[in-house]
Structure 1
Amino acid sequence: MNRTLLLRIAVAIILLTHSVFGMFDNGINDFGNLFLNQIGFAPFGVFLAWSIKLSHVVAAILLISNKYIKLAGFVTIFVLLMGIVLVHFKEGWFVVGGGRNGVEYNFLLIVVLLAIMYPDGFKKENKVL
């Protein structure tokens, strides 16, 4: 069994549930109109919100199928970092408990994605000339 399988499935489930429900309850449009457009992305807030959520769905499919893992990881990490910068950082570290809506969950997802992308760590490959 692939050693990253459980992590890939777990992250895929998180990405899918974080995205798919918003597609059916107007959450994505609200995020685009009521948040992204308000912080300077108008008139592209809804387009950007849908792009983010669709990138999560594609990344989930790629993680489950074990294809283009680094591409899926880099795109998702970029989205998570932007979420930290634009939304979560000002709320502090904690998602719940010591605060609300902080960076800790995004931080954990980024580290897990890096572990999936680089299961052997960041060591340099020995290449023969």
Structure 2
Amino acid sequence: MNSTLLLRLSVAVILLTHSIFGIFDNGINDFGNLFLNQIGFAPFGVILAWSIKLSHIVAAILLILNKYIKLAGFITIFVLIMGIILVHFKEGWFVVGGGRNGMEYNVLLIIVLLAIMYPEGFAKKNHNLNDV
């Protein structure tokens, strides 16, 4: 079994549920109109919101299929970092408990995505003639 299988499936479920519910409860349009447009992305807030959610769906599918993992990870990490910058940082660290709507969840997802993208870690492997 692939060492990242459970992480990939878990993150895929999170990305899918976070996106799919927004499609059916008008959450994506509300996010675009009531938040993104209000903080300076008008008139592109709704298009940007849909782009974000569709990128989550595509990333989830790629994670499930174990294809283009680094591409899916980098795009999703970019979205999560922008979420930290635009939304969560000003709310502090905690999502619940010690605060509300903070950045801890995004940070955790970023770390998990990095673990999926680099299951062997970041260390550069040294190859010498004895390894051949």
The interval holding the TM-score normalised by the smaller chain is: over 0.9
Residues 18-57 of structure 1: matches in 2 within 5 Å? 18-57=18-57
Q: Counterpart of 2:85 in structure 1: which amino acid?
A: V
The 2-side partners of 1:52 and 1:39 are apart by 16
The 2-side partners of 1:99 and 1:22 are apart by 24
Runs of 5+ consecutive residues of structure 1 not aligned to the other structure: none
The 1-side partners of 2:16 and 2:24 are apart by 13
Give the structure with higher Rg (CA).
Answer: 2
Q: Counterpart of 1:14 in structure 2: which amino acid?
A: I
Q: Deviations over 1:45-89 (max 9, x none)?
A: 000000000000000000000000000000000000000000000
Pairwise CA RMSD of aligned residues? 1.0
The CA deviation at 1:125 is 3.8
Partner of 1:6: 6
User: Size of the alignment, in residue pairs?
Assistant: 128
Runs of 4+ in 1 over 2 A off after TM superposition: 125-128
Q: Deviations over 1:97-124 (max 9, x none)?
A: 0000000000000000000000000011
The 1-side partners of 2:26 and 2:93 are apart by 28
